[in-house]
Amino acid sequence: MIKLYEQSGVKMCKWPRNQSTSQYCGLSTSQYGGLSTSQYGGISTSQYGGLSTSQYGGMSTSQYGGLSTSQYGGLSTAQYGGLSTAQYGGLSTAQYGGLSTSQGGGLSTSNVNIYISNIPPWRIFMKYLYEHGYSSYADFIVEQYEKANLPLLPKI
């Protein structure tokens, strides 16, 4: 389910990005799922959607957006950023990290402690990474998918 965070001056939207097809999870197409096209859905292009380019959207380059390089942004390497390998970061393999297979992680198939993130869906995020000079990060994501024996994301 979409989460709109507003705390200490930080406003951002987050969508489920784990590997479960259960309701409200990252691979669910039902309302609020990570692959839902309905309003606020993980691949919705409407305001607050995972593929929206408007402020807070997954494809937004504005502060806290899914493709922002500022702190907490999807392209940030700072702690909590989408390209951070630090605990809770988008590329972290530690518990609750974007590439963790344990409960709460982005590669988890569990529907408990669902991983949420401000990045666009993994496939679209990876395509963006490859097309904009971040291929080493995209390659790392592919490696983690292979280690987890999950369906391999295509190199685009």
Q: Containing domain of residue 27, as a range?
A: 1-149
- The reply to whether 156 falls in a domain is no
Tell whether 82 is covered by a domain. yes
Note the pLDDT of residue 125: 95
The four Cα atoms 13, 19, 25, 26 give a dihedral, to 10 degrees, of 40
Q: Which of 99, 78, 100, 80 is nearest to 89 (CA)?
A: 80
In a domain, 20, yes or no: yes
Residue 119 lies in a domain: yes
- State the amino acid at position 92 in one-letter form: S
- Give the pLDDT of residue 4: 64
Domain count, the chain: 1
Average pLDDT, consecutive stretches of 10 residues, N- to C-terminus, the chain (156 residues): 63 92 94 92 93 94 94 94 96 97 97 95 94 96 94 59
- In the DSSP assignment, the letter for residue 120 is P
Whose structure tokens read 């409407």?
46
Total residue length of the chain: 156
Compute the C-alpha angle 57/63/65, nearest 5°: 25
| 155 assigned to some structural domain | no
